[in-house]
């Protein structure tokens, strides 16, 4: 993200604190795709991801007066999305039905569609079985496109600890996905 867009985010938050609801809408439009990718990567479920996203933006809306210009808005948002995912995961088990974001070639045979859907389901189930901190690291890295330093900052860890988390997650996923992704 460029410095200009970070400044724009701060300007939007400050304007929203002064009562400009359009500024909040601009923030949501600008960052909802990123926040949804992180939440979907954590849950593997379209509906839970949408709930986490709505809850995160609702918290920002309600607590906007507490926002200060100490850091980037994206870091602030990321922290809230992470907390929402963790809080929701304590009480909800994901419904692994939706193939959100998955597009099938119309020329694909029905048996190939079923096989592909089963593989996708197995991948999501494997990811959901990971400990929450590993799911978050995977989600931020592969769904959110974050680098190790950004993940470390969001999770309160060192980049080396993030590297270890991702390594452990991949190690845990390998036996579960062996033969599925070949």
Question: Which CATH number does the domain housing residue 74 bear?
Answer: 1.10.1740.10
What is the tens place of the pLDDT at every residue in 76-92? Answer: 888 899 889 888 887 65
Contact 37, 144 (CB under 8 A): yes
Q: How far is CA 82 from CA 51, 91, 107, in A?
A: 13, 15, 39
Q: How many domains does the chain have?
A: 1
Report the phi/psi class of residue 97: left, alpha or beta, with left for phi > 0 and alpha for psi in -120 to 50. Answer: alpha
Q: What is the structure's pLDDT at 68?
A: 80
- Euclidean distance between CA atoms 87 and 36, whole angstroms: 16
* 108: DSSP letter: S
**139: nearest Cα among 110, 162, 159:** 162
Is residue 93 in some structural domain? yes
Mean pLDDT (whole number) for 94-107: 44
Is residue 182 in some structural domain? no
The fraction of the chain above a pLDDT of 90, given in percent, is: 14
Is residue 68 in some structural domain? yes
Q: Which two tokens stand for residue 163?
A: 């590297």
List, as one string, the DSSP characters of 11-67: HHHHHHHTT-HHHHHHHHHHHHHHHHHHHHHHH--HHHHHHHHHHHHHHHHHTGGG-
Q: Place 21 in a pLDDT band, splitting at 50, 70 and 90.
A: confident
Is residue 144 in some structural domain? yes
What is the tens place of the pLDDT at every residue in 115-158? Answer: 777 777 777 788 888 898 898 888 888 888 888 888 888 888 99
Mean pLDDT (whole number) for 13-42: 90
Is residue 138 in some structural domain? yes
Is residue 75 in some structural domain? yes
The verdict on pTM exceeding 0.85 is no
Domain holding 46, by residue range, is 3-177
H or E element that contains 130: none
Is residue 7 in some structural domain? yes
């Amino acid at each position: 993200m460029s410095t200009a867009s970070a400044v724009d985010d701060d300007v939007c938050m400050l304007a929203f604190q002064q009562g400009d609801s359009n500024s909040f809408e601009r923030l949501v439009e600008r960052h909802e795709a990123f926040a949804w990718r992180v939440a979907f990567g954590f849950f593997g479920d379209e509906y839970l991801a949408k709930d986490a996203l709505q809850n995160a933006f609702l918290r920002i809306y309600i607590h906007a007066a507490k926002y200060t210009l100490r850091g980037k808005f994206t870091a602030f948002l990321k922290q809230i999305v992470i907390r929402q995912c963790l809080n929701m995961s304590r009480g909800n088990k994901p419904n692994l039905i939706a193939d959100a974001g998955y597009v099938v070639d119309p020329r694909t045979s029905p048996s190939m569609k079923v096989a592909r859907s089963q593989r996708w389901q197995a991948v999501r189930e494997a990811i959901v079985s990971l400990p929450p901190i590993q799911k978050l690291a995977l989600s931020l890295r592969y769904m959110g496109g974050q680098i190790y330093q950004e993940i470390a900052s969001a999770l309160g860890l060192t980049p080396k600890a993030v590297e270890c988390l991702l390594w452990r997650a991949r190690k845990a996923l390998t036996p579960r996905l062996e033969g599925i992704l070949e």
